Structure 1
């Protein structure tokens, strides 16, 4: 039976969960004043966590993007489209929600395949 590996685990959540060749990341947010700044920073955090978990943006299977205001959709997509490697776009959903802090504009949750998973 495959075990569940939890990385950077606190009382409320783990930043990374690895199970059965899949990598689940908790929601990532970014810093900055604009949607572009926050999206760029958020995606850099995702890159770092995926690398730590043995995966990469080329292996993302699914992404959920939450925006505090759908008026930022085009601005977020401009950064997203440049970040996703050509031919590796994941299944993705995007919606508007009230995020945890007023200054947050975007939160992204991803699930990816572990690169060298051996069952």
Structure 2
């Protein structure tokens, strides 16, 4: 039977799950909710970097991204940070939609699937 590794687990979810050299990240949100979309997106991608590194991978191995924005009009500002963050790394398959957030102060949430 293949091993499943869960990290950052609580009663509701795990921050990351690894299975067969695939790494699935939970939806990642910012900690400082007083920030605008640029600040929150920077926090989110920094947290994603840390989770990817902790699981032995990086942005060059991204497969898929799901992005939820509180306001779709923030897409261009979020994309500026996104493009800067990815640099020359390969682009994942991606969806970006507007959504009602669990906490109205959250402006962006990003969920990633990567491989090792």
TM-score range, shorter chain: over 0.9
Give the whole-Å Cα distance in 1 for the aligned partners of 2:28 and 2:3: 24
- Tell me the TM-score normalised to structure 1 length: 0.92
- Tell me the TM-score normalised to structure 2 length: 0.94
Q: Name the residue aligned to 2:49.
A: 47
Q: Could you report, residue by residue, the CA deviation over 1:38-89 in whole angstroms, capped at 9, with x for unpaired residues? A: 0000000000000001111111100000000001000000100111131511
Give the whole-Å Cα distance in 1 for the aligned partners of 2:45 and 2:68: 13
Q: Name the residue aligned to 1:18.
A: 18
Shift of 1:107: 0.1
Give the whole-Å Cα distance in 2 for the aligned partners of 1:87 and 1:69: 27
Aligned positions, number: 114
Give the whole-Å Cα distance in 2 for the aligned partners of 1:84 and 1:36: 15
CA contact (8 A) 1:58 1:85 kept: no
Alpha carbon RMSD of aligned pairs, Å?
1.0
CA contact (8 A) 2:59 2:89 kept: no
